[in-house]
Structure 1
Amino acid sequence: MRIAIDATAACTPRPTGIGRYTAQLARALDDIGSKISLGTRCSHLHRHRHRLSIPTVNRFWIQEPWWPPLRRPDVVHVTDSRVPRWNSPRVATIHDVVHLLPEDRMSRQISTREFRDKKIASYQAIAADCQRIIAVSETTRRDFLGGVECDPEKVVVVHHGVDPVFQPIEQSKAAEVLAVRGIPTEAIIYVGDLSHRKNIPGIVRGFLAAELGDVPLVIAGEASFGGTGIQELIESEGCGRVRLVGWLGDDVLPSLYSSAKALLYCTHYEGFGLPVLESMACGTPVVVSSRGAAPEIGGDLAESCDPDDPASIAAALHRALGHDRTHRDRARNHALAFDWKSCARQTVEVYRQAIELADGPH
């Protein structure tokens, strides 16, 4: 099976959710012996130094709306909610579909109207034009089918994995890694984008409501839509206890998770929520929102809260801080059950289904 993957989402110096998914899936597919090639859209030519590179895998450029005249692959996979334009069996991955939800479910605007309309149009095109659609969680699948007319049999859930790099790091070693960057240890942490959807104001207010003395809140991530006012919020309400440390890579994140007292991840909506599993894999308790996919991914091993209620966030944080070693070990085992090679094998099965459907009667 010849697999062409549009890996544009991984062409960035600072990958986050979709970029990390794309890179990890491609590596796992290569590890299990799949014959893949990796494409990058020419719109990212200026970032050519950051193209995803796997030693044994060929790469190519994509000039939209045309794909290059290579030998036709058996299946084409786009990982960032777009429709592949090659005349081959098509698979697309959908991640969070928050733009399909009624706007009144969000306490604040999460994007421009133009961007929202563009995303909805792309979901409709995926439903119409792809033989198979991968949803990264049951929540994503449910919300996608609730917002777009689509044959339910097309949409298959394949969970992410957790990179083995996420494991408990000895406290002294973690402290050394963080000290180089001026990051405090034994903090409450948040990892992810800084945007309205991520509920940073609610996280800050819930953290402060917990009244944890001199324990700091460390926020690791970069600003996206609605994130430019975060610094002002921190200066006005953070009481000097909130630290912005910017984007962190996998060379630092295991130390951050391992040294933390808890991950505070009470966002308004997630399609999956990799930090939930990464934190658990490092032995650190987790607080999640009662909305989106985070409760699905964390299960009963993460503490749940109302993201709009600081008192609820604070109470959940205190419960998480009370997790004993047995609970943390169970959470770690739960996280380790999410494996990238398993994700790759399930994805190959989705490819087979797409090929069979395209080759079948019309």
Structure 2
Amino acid sequence: MSLDTINDVPLLVMKRGGQAENVHRGRISIVSAIDGQLVYSCGDVQAPAYVRSTAKPVQAMASLLDGTAQAYGYEERHLALMAASHRGSREQIATLEEILSLTGIDEEQLAIQPTLPVGRQARDEYIAAGGKPRKLLHTCAGKHLGVLAWCKLKGWPMEGYIHPDHPAQQAILSFIKSWAKAEKEQVTLGKDGCGFPVAAMPLWKLAFIYGRLANPDLAENQDEGAIARTITQAMNAYPNHVEGHNRLASLLLSDPNVVAKSGAHGVFVFGLRREKLGVSITVSDGAEIAWPHIVKAILKRTGGVSDFTMQKLDEVFPSEFLNDTKEIAGQWKALFE
């Protein structure tokens, strides 16, 4: 894949004093959850994008289909952490420690390295209390714990569970392809930040994945539909477990009509239940600061969230931004129709 093959287009401009200061380019795809038909596109939606952490609910589904929730007594808060990119809050870590207790997994079995909370407030509080780096504080710890517990249940090797040839990773990749209804040639593999293999596929396929997650009744396989409903209901029940307070995905998950998740380096995806739509966005420069304003512009055109949710999005991510003296310094403006 070369840069020349990706037709990224301007999506968002930040203006200061009436002049454009930053322009964020990228791509948008909106598809029908029923058949994957393209409803709207901006940029080349056939070009690939890495799923990154947006894959976590589907990765969790692969293990849940083998009965891990029943075997270990998982409750909704545990399932939400398995689909999470947690920020290291006390509530999130307490739930992860419950998963350790339920599964009998040793924290040292996690392949990730010890770290500090990724959330600024959580990190400051943790350090002030004398906390030291630990593996459970890694933003992907829930996903890793879920897979390790699955390996234990299946009798698969606990060592090397992050490698592409491990049975767990083979099963996960197969399920992601199946849930996306992607052909073999549409999917390539890279390595994610936490060590897992990570799939890249056409951007519109990411939208289709989340359209299907938000509408599990459309699944041809009833067991898969039931598991999709279980994991997404857990995400809606514990939105702040999935990411964190005032994170875009968590704010959207607080609305019962939405299933949402962010991924690193620019990818954001959500599904709408009533509208039976999936939406995928990728921002070329990987800037998370652009997501909320792009998402708000899409929702204001398509609907899909309550007035309360939209008001909360406008409150947390206002279109006008202030400087350090609390004066309006500029505005965000979407550039797509």
TM-score normalised by the shorter chain: which range applies?
A: under 0.3
The structure where strand makes up a greater share of residues is 2
TM-score (norm 2): 0.26
- Rg comparison, structure with higher value: 1
Does 1 or 2 have the higher relative contact order (CA < 8 Å, sep 6+)? 2
